[in-house]
Each structure stands twice: as structure tokens, then as C-alpha cells.
Structure 1
Amino acid sequence: MARGVPMQRVAVVLFNLGGPDAPDSVRPFLENLFTDPAILRVPGFIRPWLGRFIARRRTPAASENYAILGGRSPLLDLTEAQAHDLQAALNEAGGAEYRCFIAMRYWHPMSDATARAVREWGPDRVLLLPLYPQYSTTTTGSSVTAWDEAAARAGLAVPTKTLCCYHSDPAFAAATAAAVQTAYEAARAALAPEVKLRILFSAHGLPESIVKRGDPYQWQVEQTVAAVVERLAIEGLDHIVCYQSRVTPQKWIGPSTELELERAAHDKTAVLICPIAFVSEHSETLVELDVEYREEAERLGVPGYYRVPAQNSDPGFIAALRDLVRRAEADDRPLCSFAGARQCPKPFGDCPHARARIRAPELA
């Protein structure tokens, strides 16, 4: 860079779900979640009432879960650590000045406050980076919509790129496989030689109706698992993709993690749970997987229950994010996948690339 020419400033905005930071924020957090049109897909005039009703009904159980975690979610602290490490890795590589910001979807810091902070920093461009490896309209899609609205309100008008997904990114898959390998070897060493071991790649579920309307999430989860299993290269590996965290009475994608625990008990097979769609520990890993499903496995007589930790600030994962950011920066597209162009097959009409083509054919 020529002397006297300032480095370009790049704001990297990390999207995540968010979580309550105190016992009295559990209910408003749930209200934000269940009044999101991307989550509760009912007519708009019903949604505020129904969303608050669902939140009120679910608050006692959710509060008990967060009480196990000390009354608050650890997600913000872990995301801040990821942002700190990613910022350091990006700036070490040089070429621009990077600053990482966090925009949570359902609790603070939310998009409005983050957009104002980004505007005050004065970046030359913005990159939106979801901490959801697999795209869904209910996660990344909802976060992008919230960000676009918040940026407009904040008067933040600089070139912005969105990385939609990195489900099969080789570095991400390799970092995930390394964690699975370590946990698999530890579980295998703890078990008697005659006891079989099965990996349950558990992802957050979705109502089947959302997937049938074209959401690519389930397909992308399956692509992640295929990429990880390929890198594990364990001959005859017993594994399956399953889904957890059902919260509504409608039909959800499956098989469910609960049913897979029942099958493991029937088969007298130990299980190693891998949270394949979560990259940070939070209530659905630390409580649902580590407490509730463990107790269920013990009740059913599963001969062993083990878990792969979430990535958090694993150096391999942070390096994968760094490389994803740098490649997205080099891509001419305002919307890109980990491989640049669209990755989802054509039937998935809710792939963001398909939506971008409908809105602006020249950008697709």
C-alpha cells in the first residue's frame, strides 16, 4: 500500500441467535423469538398475540434450563471470544483493517445497536458472517432481514456482502472432523471392545412444512455430515443425522434425536452426539444434550453416552472463518457461498441465491 494511503476498513458482522443475560430476560427473549415472522409463520394479525402466548407458556421450562447455566446464556461471551480471535486472525493476515461486530437476533446486542456502532466506526465496506454454517430462512435469512432494516434506520450505506453458508467448506469440515475424531477415540477407549459406537449428528430441527416450501437447511446439514464423515475416514462408521429441539406440535423433520436414542438402546449401541449445526455452546448443547438427553439415554439403557464439544474458539474453526472472510472479500458477488456461486439444487427456492435472482437477475 502506498505511503499515506489509509488501509480500507472492513466491518465483519457476526450473526448469532442470542440468549437471555439474566433470569428476567428469559421471557422477552422468547417473545422476540416467537414473534419473528420467519419463526412463527401465521397471519401477521395473529402473530403478536400468539407469539407472546407461546413465550409465556415456555418461560418456566426455559427458566429452569437457564438456571442450570447460572441464570443466563453463555452464548454472548463465547461469541465475543470468537469475534476477538477472528479479528486478530484477519488483521494478522493484513491487507485491510478489520473489526468484528456482533449482531444477535433475539437479545442484545441486536442489529439496531450494532448497525449504529458499525456506522460510527466508519467502514469502507461490511461483510455479514453468520455463525450458522447451514443456511435457513429461520436463522441466517431472518438475521439478514433484521440487519438490512437496522442498517437503513442507522443510515449505514456502504457496500455490503453476505456469506450465506459454509456447510461443506473444506477447512470447516476438517476442523469439525478433528473434534469428532478426538471425541470418538476417547469414547472408544472408554468402552469395552464389544460395545458398538454410533455417532448421532444432531442438528436443530425445523417444521417439515418450511423445508417443503424450499428451505435448504436439511439438505445443507446432510452435506456437512457427508463432508465430515469423508474426512474421518473411519471404516464402517455407524452414524446418522438426527434433529432435536422440537417446539411446536406440527410435523418436524426427522428422525428425532430422541428416537435415535431409543434405537441405540434397542441395538445396545453407545452414542457419541455431535451438535453439527451449532458452533457455540448454549442451552441446546449444555442442557438439552448434556443433561436431558443424557438422562434419557441412561433411562433407556444406552450403554454409553458421549458428546463432541461445539467449536467455540477452536483455532481450526477460527482459521476456517478467517479464510471464508478473505475469499468472500475477493469475490465480486454481493451474495456468496463458501464456494462463491450458489450451491443448493434448484428445488430449494428459499436458497438466498434463488431469491436474489428473482429480485435482481443481474446480481445472481
Structure 2
Amino acid sequence: MSPEPRPRLAVVLFNLGGPDSPGAVRPFLENLFTDPAILRVPGFIRPWLGRFIAARRTKAASENYAILGGKSPLLELTEEQARALEAALADEAVEARCFVAMRYWHPFAEEAAREVQAWGADEILILPLYPQYSTTTTGSSVEDWEAACARIGLLLPTRVLCCWHSDDGFAKATATLVRTAYEKARAELPPTVPLRILFSAHGLPESIVKRGDPYQWQVERSVAAVMERIGIEGLDHALCYQSRVTPQKWIGPSTEAALQQAAQDRTAVLVCPIAFVSEHSETLVELDVEYGELAHKLGLPGYFRVPAQNSDPAFIAALADLVRRVRAGDRRLCSFAGARQCPKAFGDCPHARARALMTGVGA
């Protein structure tokens, strides 16, 4: 007798996306800035204002992508992660296949959903490539995915992993990358020059955090988890935020301010992108080029960077373990540890939102 066919598990990887040609820069930015989760203004003004902001930012963004050859490397790197994760799940009791759904450029959620549908998946697991949850990233992507599935009639049992900010495998894999980069940087510096690790995360407007978004709290948990696993006693480190794009007040301190403080303290810095798991413009241009130039102007005795995880084997193994644990559980919505992790003060935690919908609170 032939063996029973294994159930088909579609693992859908969420990411931001990026322009795939110089001509895609402006429409990519328009998609970004007309997202209600990003531009929180009344709906009647959002399309006009979003397109206006995109037009104003197109020249600078195009110059950044020109440094990268005219496009973002994010799709190719995410696809490499998908293939590596498939290989890591090859011997499971299910037949797992990974699909990539980008938020602001191809492949969009509907494209990925149609691929899942055509493959004949039996179940879906949503794995955002954002370790920390935010309404502006994972939250927006989940809503986009659900709308896409509704449009094409894709109705399958689905589990959503909302966050994995302090997952042990993620923290250990990241700590290994940090320690390797730290030892390399330390070897290049004179023994008398101190070295500080700057964990840099994408920023958010302060108003979004005050409304209950748990992102900042989760980023802080990520830094604590990585530091615990690096295992170097008394290691100097700090957390900062980059990529501010609007004039309103953003969470801080900014990465610029952290570099200025390092200059005052006469310490070299090793920058670790703690909220990005793939190289893209925010790491390859903003961190490597723009902040590298600022560090030189400020006279820092050294400027180094930890590489993003990309398809690092230990990181992929951590993702595979997350997939196994989520599928083994009985929760449709879960954190890396199963139940909700965010303190109750964070009303925009997806678990709080789901509970509010079930109980009718706020309806």
C-alpha cells in the first residue's frame, strides 16, 4: 500500500517589500504612505497626502536604491530564507512549502494567496519576518492577507504567529552574530579604545506607542534576550531608533543621537540591526553609508556593524522550530511562547484586539 499523503502546510512569510527597479520606487512609496496603519490621518485626505509624501521622498529614496543597483535586495533574500526554511522542514510529518507575501510591492498578499490556493494547501501558518509586533508591520500585513484571502475565497485553517521577540533560538542566533562581530571589531581596535554595541531598530511615532502599540516594549525585550546570551560580562550597550520619516515626535533616542553620545564618550561602536532580519536599504544604506559617514565626521574611533541574519543556519533553524511549535499548539493566534506576552497596558497587542472583537468591547 502506498503511504498516506502528508498534509500540505503553507508557511507564509511576511515582509515589507521593496522596489524591484528604479521605476518602482515611487509606486512603492505611494503604497507605503497610503497605508492607514502608517499614515494615520482621516481617510478622505490620506490618498492625496500619501501621494504627496511619496513624491517628496522619491528623489532621495531613488538615490539610496541607486547605491544598491537600482532596487532593493529584500525579495531575493526573503526568497532565499523561504527555500532554506523549506529545507529545514523537509522531514516533518507535513509537506511544508514557503510563500512570500510582501506588503508594499510584489509579490503582494493576493499573489501569494493565489499561489497557496493553486498548490492545494490544507493549512496555513503565518510567519512574519518581523520579530517584534507592531500595528504598522505585522498588524497591517495580517489585515492585508485576510482581505486578499477573502477576495479569492481562500478559506483554510490558519495559525498566526504574532511575535517572536524573545524566542530563545532567535536570541541565541543573533547573539552569536553579535559576539563574532564584536570579537572581530575588538581585534581591530587598540586595547585602550572602548567598544559599545548599539542595537538599532526602526523607529515609530511616539503617538502610535502611546495608543498601545507594543513594538518598543518588544524591542527592549529582544535586546535584553540577546545581551543575556552573548555572555560577556559588563558589556557596554545601548538601544536606539532609526529611519524617522515624519516631523512628529518619534521614540528615541535616535541612532544619530546615540552616535553623538558615543563621540562624546570617545568610544567605538558596533551597530546591530535588532528589528531587521534581512539586509535592505535601512541596513546597507542608512546604517552602512549614512551613519558610517556621520560616525567619521563625529570622529568616532571605530564604526562596525553586525550583519543581518539573512539565511544564517542558526537563524533558519530558529524559524523552523517556531513553525513546529506553532503548528503543535492549538491557538489560532499565538506568540512565540503560546499565550500573550505583552503587558495589559498595550491595547494594540493583537491578543487584546482579538479579545475585544470576541467580547464586543469597543463595538
Q: TM-score, normalised by structure 1?
A: 0.98
Q: Which residue identity does 1:339 align to in structure 2? A: A
Aligned to 2:186: 188
CA offsets, 1:323-355, max 9 Å, x none?
000000011010000000000000000000001
Aligned to 2:134: 136
Aligned to 2:268: 270
Aligned to 2:57: 58
Given the alignment, which residue of 317, 320, 323 partners 1:322? 320
CA offsets, 1:172-207, max 9 Å, x none?
000000000000000100000000000000000000
Distance 1:209 1:132 in 2: 21
SS of 2:268's equivalent? strand
Aligned to 2:39: 40
Q: Which residue identity does 2:110 align to in structure 1? A: D
Distance 1:171 1:360 in 2: 32
Distance 1:355 1:90 in 2: 31
Q: Which residue identity does 1:212 align to in structure 2? A: K
Aligned to 2:90: 91
SS of 1:91's equivalent? coil
Given the alignment, which residue of 172, 181, 186 partners 2:170? 172
Distance 1:68 1:43 in 2: 36
Aligned to 2:203: 205
SS of 1:50's equivalent? helix
SS of 1:162's equivalent? strand
How far has the Cα of 1:4 moved from its partner? 4.1
SS of 1:272's equivalent? strand
Query: 1:129, 1:163 within 8 Å by CA — same for their partners in 2?
Result: yes
Distance 2:176 2:267 in 1: 23
Aligned to 1:17: 16
Distance 1:259 1:158 in 2: 47
Aligned to 1:260: 258
Distance 2:359 2:267 in 1: 51
* Correspondence list, 1:270-289, <5 A: 270-289=268-287
CA offsets, 1:62-100, max 9 Å, x none?
0000000000000000000000000111113x2000010
Distance 2:341 2:22 in 1: 41
CA offsets, 1:209-243, max 9 Å, x none?
00000000000000000000001121111101100
Distance 1:345 1:319 in 2: 28
Aligned to 1:249: 247
Distance 2:69 2:323 in 1: 34
Distance 2:209 2:186 in 1: 35
Q: Which residue identity does 1:333 align to in structure 2? A: R
Distance 1:180 1:69 in 2: 24
Distance 2:148 2:126 in 1: 13
Query: 1:132, 1:140 within 8 Å by CA — same for their partners in 2?
Result: yes
How far has the Cα of 1:361 moved from its partner? 5.0
SS of 2:90's equivalent? helix
1:304 aligns with 2:302: yes
How far has the Cα of 1:3 moved from its partner? 4.7
CA offsets, 1:286-325, max 9 Å, x none?
0000000000000010110000000000000000000000
1:216 aligns with 2:214: yes
SS of 2:12's equivalent? strand
SS of 2:195's equivalent? strand
Distance 1:20 1:97 in 2: 32
Q: Which residue identity does 1:109 align to in structure 2? A: P
1:8 aligns with 2:7: yes
How far has the Cα of 1:5 moved from its partner? 2.2
Q: Which residue identity does 1:77 align to in structure 2? A: E
Q: Which runs of 5+ in 1 are unaligned?
A: none
- Equivalent residues, number: 360
Distance 1:337 1:227 in 2: 16
* Correspondence list, 1:222-241, <5 A: 222-241=220-239
Q: Which residue identity does 1:322 align to in structure 2? A: A
Query: 1:119, 1:155 within 8 Å by CA — same for their partners in 2?
Result: no
Given the alignment, which residue of 92, 102, 119 partners 1:121? 119
How far has the Cα of 1:262 moved from its partner? 0.4
CA offsets, 1:232-275, max 9 Å, x none?
12111110110000000000000000000000001100000000
Given the alignment, which residue of 151, 154, 157 partners 2:152? 154
Q: Which residue identity does 2:172 align to in structure 1? A: A
Given the alignment, which residue of 344, 354, 364 partners 2:352? 354
Given the alignment, which residue of 293, 296, 299 partners 1:295? 293
